């Protein structure tokens, strides 16, 4: 599988927007960086190890929005801390069960975000992560 085919496979699995076309894949091949559009990304999460293997094999640094993708070998992720986010949902359920009207509860936006960096993947890709970025990371996977 060549680099262009790998990009197309990654797109099909959801590591790139599913609307990505051959022109977009060619652009990614030129710039050499892949971002994950993982809204509703259960398909990507299921295939996270394979996605990471393909990206590393074809020397494509990746940026995701789920920690699990980096734990599986992706380069980095920046997104909502899902543990905190789900916990906030539990607070809403508790309020509703105690009699609050759902329509009266305010809509909350996520407030806790996290930056996760995988140094093992960075080394495999030959990418140097600046110290200033590493110090801002919430977690660094060795």
| Per-residue pLDDT, 65 | 81
In a domain, 91, yes or no: no
What residues contact residue 82 under an 8 Å CB cut-off, 6+ apart?
Answer: 66, 67
pLDDT of residue 103: 92
Tell me how far apart the alpha carbons of residues 15 and 66 are, in angstroms, rounded to a whole number.
11
* Whole-angstrom distance, CA of residue 14 vs CA of residue 40: 9
The pTM score is 0.66
Domain boundaries, position 19:
3-79+112-141
89 assigned to some structural domain: no
- Is 88 a domain residue? no
Task: Say if 68 falls within a structural domain.
Answer: yes
The stretches in the chain having pLDDT less than 50 are: 17-23, 26, 29-31, 37-40
Structure confidence at residue 136 (pLDDT): 93
Q: How many domains does the chain have?
A: 1
């Amino acid at each position: 599988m060549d680099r262009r085919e790998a990009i197309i496979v990654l797109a099909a699995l959801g590591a790139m927007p599913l609307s990505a076309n051959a022109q977009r894949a060619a652009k990614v091949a030129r710039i050499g960086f892949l971002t994950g559009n993982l809204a509703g990304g259960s398909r990507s999460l299921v295939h996270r190890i394979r996605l990471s293997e393909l990206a590393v094999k074809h020397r494509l640094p990746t940026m995701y929005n789920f920690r699990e993708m980096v734990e599986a070998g992706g380069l980095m992720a920046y997104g909502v801390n899902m543990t905190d986010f789900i916990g906030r949902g539990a607070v809403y359920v508790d309020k509703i069960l105690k009699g609050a009207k759902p329509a009266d509860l305010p809509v909350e936006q996520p407030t806790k975000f996290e930056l996760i960096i995988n140094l093992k993947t960075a080394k495999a890709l030959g990418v140097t992560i600046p110290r200033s970025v590493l110090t801002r990371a919430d977690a660094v996977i060795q």
